[in-house]
Amino acid sequence: MAMTRPLPNLRRRKRKYRRAIEANVGIRNRYAREITNLINNSNELLIDFVKCELELSEYVGETEVTIAQDANPLSFLKGLAKKVTKKVGEIAATMQARIHSLANWFTGSMTASTTASQVDACKKGGLSEEYIRSLWTGNTINGQYVSPEAAALVPTIIQAQTSLITKLTSDDLQRIQTAIAESLDKGIPLPDLERVLESIKGFNPRRAQLVAMDQANKINISVLRANDISLGLTQAVWIHVPGQYTSRESHIMLDGQGFDLRTGIFDPEVQRNIQCAELPYCRCVYRVGLPEFLPDRVNVGRTGQLDLLTEAQKRKDLTVPKSRSRGKATARSKDTSTQYSLFEATPPREK
């Protein structure tokens, strides 16, 4: 006769919702500063190279380059353009180690910070740290234990951030290169070229802030979902967070609506299921429903614990708190699968 594993004693309590958890603002702001500094350093390397080439040329004393009348300046400009193109490639390759290091730091810091806040909120909601640790064994990020599902996301997130910063750096180097070429083609006086280079070398810090905010929100929600689903917490309530200037009307109407973290919630504007922070610059978060039945002790065995939470949730339907939204539309949920990761390799454009 097969032996059955005893279930832990259960204590019933009123359904609770864990507080919503937003991305760490300090880490986000530092990421924006680091991106700005890295790209500015890349631009300075290119601009310093061009200045050096001009100083070494015999045309430095010319008030302007007369391409149509003198073949030598024309030859010089063609050679300079080729050197600039080669230098752009060299700078991009040189920055790869620094870019990867920054992506690694940001991903690890956000994952650990989000999980630490999540564990603290779960403990205040009634789940013991012993219980959470029993499900999240053998996985630590920056000293913080995380679920296996969240740990599995980290390499993908690092790669996405590396690609993103690389593209931002390459695009801005290309902007500098284009400005140099256009200035030379127009026959700009060489003494004025340095002033032109100085005026265009800076990366827009506002863009860095937008990118950092968007990526921090995406990592925050992806890690939260992975950790929650690993604990068997799948029923959530959408919390709309207004944008700085505007908000999506559909997200205002979704405020307070219940949905399944595994499938997302239907957004009528995009005509598909979405997750919080999936769309560009979306700041929305969620509150997750905690189990109605809590174990008094931890039962050994990961599968048994997950089954326990799942069955407990099935005993009573999740009651969704009353929506704070004044919209009359109700959210619909379609049975479609949504991956944990919400990342794109390219930065979203500002609206």
Q: What confidence tens digit (pLDDT) does each residue in 217-252 have?
A: 999 999 999 999 999 999 999 999 998 778 999 999
Burial class (CB in 10 A: 0-12, 13-18, 19+), 271: exposed
Q: Rounded distance, CA 242 to CA 131, Å?
A: 35
Residue 133 token pair: 């640790």
Query: What gap in Å lies between CA 6 and CA 1, rounded to an integer?
Result: 15
Q: Which residue has the higher pLDDT, 7 or 271?
A: 271
Select the more confidently predicted residue: 341 or 196.
196
> Which of 303 and 241 is assigned the larger pLDDT?
241
Name, in order, each residue with C-beta under 8 angstroms of 125's C-beta and a sequence gap of 6 or more: 16, 17, 18, 290
**Of 183 and 275, which is predicted with more confidence?**
275
Residue 131: predicted pLDDT: 87
Lowest mean pLDDT among 14-23, 131-140, 184-193: 184-193
Amino acid occupying residue 204: N
* Confidence class for position 304, pLDDT limits 50, 70, 90: very low
The answer, yes or no, to whether residue 284 has pLDDT greater than 80, is: yes
More confident position, 81 or 287: 287
Among 41-50, 98-107, 187-196, 316-325, which is the least confidently predicted range?
316-325
What is the pTM for the complete model shown?
0.77
CA-based torsion, 180, 182, 183, 187: positive or negative: positive
How many percent of the chain have pLDDT more than 90?
47
